[in-house]
Amino acid sequence: MEKKRWTALAIAVGLFFVSLIAQFSSTVATTQWGELISDENDFAEEVREDGTGSEKVAVIHLNGVIQSDDVGGVINASTYNHRVLLEMLDHAKEDEGIEGVVLRVNTPGGGVVESEEIHDQIVSLQEEDKPVYVSMGNTAASGGYYVSAPAEQIFAHPATLTGSIGVIMESINIAELADDLGIDFNTITSGEYKDIMSISRPMSEDEEDILQTMIDEMYDDFVNVIVNGRDMDEATVRELGDGRVYTGSQAKDVGLVDELGSLDDTIEQLQQDYNLENAQVVEYEYSLGIGSLFGMTAEKMFGDELQLSGLTEMLRVSNSPRAMYLYTE
């Protein structure tokens, strides 16, 4: 009887792996391998609207959780690539034919440093007299709003979720559970605060004060970005920036966005404002690479569970504190 059980288990495991291989093979078979690897850039420039002359407007998409390439694994590979996004923005700055940029933002935010890097690239574009307009998608919250704030104009859909102005840092404490299970943690540190936010013990008041000071400093930076980018009063920004989210309509009412409209409306407005009605509109698109292939294959096979685990992986990437400009439901 025992032998039959093991045989059945082996067959089940074998069928599971055969299924995985079949799904992966299907993806491989439908992939255009000639376009798999780009020789020059990790993105391609596609024509969205024809124009006359040499002037161009670039459309760049920011989709997915804002994070460094070494944080999210394959989960976010098919939707967001931080390095490539920065390259797109830099390319738009260096391309003499680009006269303006529309950034399509669809993100709940992400890392503080990564959001600041995108923000700085946008400001750098503007310093080259290249206006940046933002078109918000389903979600442009927290870090998504941080990178949008310096734009000359921000468009949102009435149902866009935006705002969530603030900083979050969190960890899990399992000390009581460990006690119940009889689990002991042996930690040796070189200093009193080396294991700050440890999962194995409650946080002290001194540690809370240290971390709160860090969060307050990052929040002040967020506020200043909005004050400077939106030309708003600091007190107003702090009143609005209590962490809540706003719909696009609400955000327009309180001055966080300028207009309600679609991506096409945003492009059209930029063209009208800067006499670029005859400019060609180009769209920067990610080239299909190995990372994207595996990312799409993994998402196809495991679906929502894998996406959730990817976000969890990012949030729990280490036991050390990780501050985020992130909206979580």
Kindly list the catalytic residues.
142, 194
In angstroms, the CA 125 to CA 120 distance is 9
Token pair listed for 297? 């294959």
Q: Angle between the 82-94 and 112-127 helix axes, to the nearest 10 degrees?
A: 10
Contact 264, 57 (CB under 8 A): no
User: What is the DSSP code (8-state) at residue 71?
Assistant: T
Adjacent-strand bridge partners of 66: 110
* Residues linked to residue 57 through DSSP beta bridges, in sequence order: 100, 281
Tokens of 122: 């946008």
Cβ proximity of 101 and 85 under 8 Å: no
3-state secondary structure of 138: strand
